[in-house]
Chain A
Amino acid sequence: MNSIYAVVGILICIGFYTILTKTNLIKMVIGINIIESAVILLLVALSYKPGGSAPILDKGYELVVDPIPQALALTAIVIGASTTAMMLALIIKIFSKHHTLDVREIRNLRG
């Protein structure tokens, strides 16, 4: 069980490293998506019970997994897809204005 949490931690660290070191905007979006996948994996791992089946209470069920984190994971997937689309649309606008995706060359974004 702990190995799943270790995988989640490693994935989150990979995502943060990608965001901090890469200079290409699309690679930064990929890093954000890696973190998002790690969070969804954490939610699914939290709902796990050994031997549990899907939370559909039809006839003849014995043990089902926790339904609350699964509902939250569904929310997270939808919001993640929406934010990814939003980020990519903003990147399209930035590219059409600056003709580059390198954050070092986009001077207006420098803080």
Chain B
Amino acid sequence: MKKIFPLILILIFASLLSVLLLNHQVIDRSLSDHYLQSGVEETGAINLVTAILFDYRGFDTLGEATVIFGVASAIAFLVPKKRATMLAATFSVAVYQTISFILPFLGVLGLYLILYGHLSPGGGFTGGVVIATISILLTITFGPDYSEKRWRYKTKTLMESFGGMTFIFIGLIGILAGSNFLANGQALFSLGKPGDLFSGGTISLLNLATGIKVGAGLAIIFNCMIKEE
């Protein structure tokens, strides 16, 4: 009897959903056509997903970065245990050697993804996750104490705050230049030649700020959640 009621609810929901999904109209692509035609001239970035994330919808991305900041703060507040005894396992020599071999390459990959975010697939969020992976791998293989020693908790919080503040200050420069918040081409930033490394105005700077912020934030989240009494 208890299983019947959710099943009926799901069936009603499924019929509503099928009506909604299978009878959809032709998608209006006028906005994306505008982006495809004049997005490169307006933003200077040839990667249109990054152009939309950090130029047209930069304010949205600021909110997204704020969510990560809020979650990292809330988890650090909720799970304030000091020690981590769960990861006391020891591995063979191969694991330690392999991890210490690939860690520098992971750093280079993360920085590449962040710095070339306006030219190739990637961007601040992807590169930030790769940088957070360094901290996670260090914690899993060498233990939380070693990870905390190499990349201190205070440094992480400082990096996260620095990323968020940089994002907001770059946005405020747009206001000071006489345009709106997070203005790129309308403010005094030069867009450069599309396809070059130094192009896109604020987009690469915002990518860098977001990468630092996301990397430090996800590392804080992981290192807080593995702790126990």
A54 touching B121 by the CB < 8 A rule?
Answer: yes
Considering the chains assembled together, what is the distance between the CA atoms of A16 and B6 in angstroms?
A: 9
B225 adjacent to A89 (CB under 8 Å): yes
Given known A-B contacts A68-B31, A85-B75, A58 and B46 have beta carbons under 8 A apart = yes
Residues of B contacting A81 in the complex (Cβ-Cβ under 8 angstroms): 218
Contact A82/B71 with A2-B22, A20-B10 known, Cβ cut-off 8 Å: yes
Q: Mark A76-110, 1 if CB is under 8 A from B, else 0.
A: 01110111011011101100100000000000000
Q: How many residues of A contact B (CB 8 A)?
A: 39
Q: Name the residue of chain B whose CB is nearest to the CB of A81.
A: B218
A66–B29 touching, CB < 8 Å: yes
Tell me if A55 and B75 are in contact (CB < 8 A).
no
Q: Is A34 an interface residue (CB 8 A)?
A: no
The reply on A74 being an interface residue by CB < 8 A is: yes
Closest to B33 in A: A66
Please name all residues of chain B whose beta carbon is closer than 8 Å to the beta carbon of A8 when the two chains form the complex.
21
- B120 is an interface residue with CB less than 8 A from chain A: yes
A101 CA / B23 CA spacing, docked (Å): 41
Chain B, 125-145, CB within 8 A of any chain A CB: 125
B18 CB-CB contact with A under 8 Å: yes
In the bound complex, do residue B53 and residue A71 qualify as a contact, i.e. CB atoms below 8 Å apart? yes
B196 sits at the interface (CB 8 A): no
Q: Are B64 and A79 within 8 A (Cβ)?
A: yes
A-B contact pairs, 22 of them (CB 8 A): A5-B22, A9-B18, A12-B17, A17-B10, A20-B9, A56-B47, A57-B194, A66-B29, A66-B32, A67-B32, A67-B48, A70-B49, A71-B49, A71-B52, A74-B123, A75-B60, A78-B64, A79-B67, A85-B221, A92-B78, A92-B79, A92-B225
- Additional A-B contact list (12), CB under 8 Å, known A13-B14, A57-B40, A58-B46: A5-B22, A16-B10, A56-B46, A56-B121, A64-B48, A66-B32, A67-B36, A67-B48, A83-B71, A89-B74, A89-B224, A93-B78
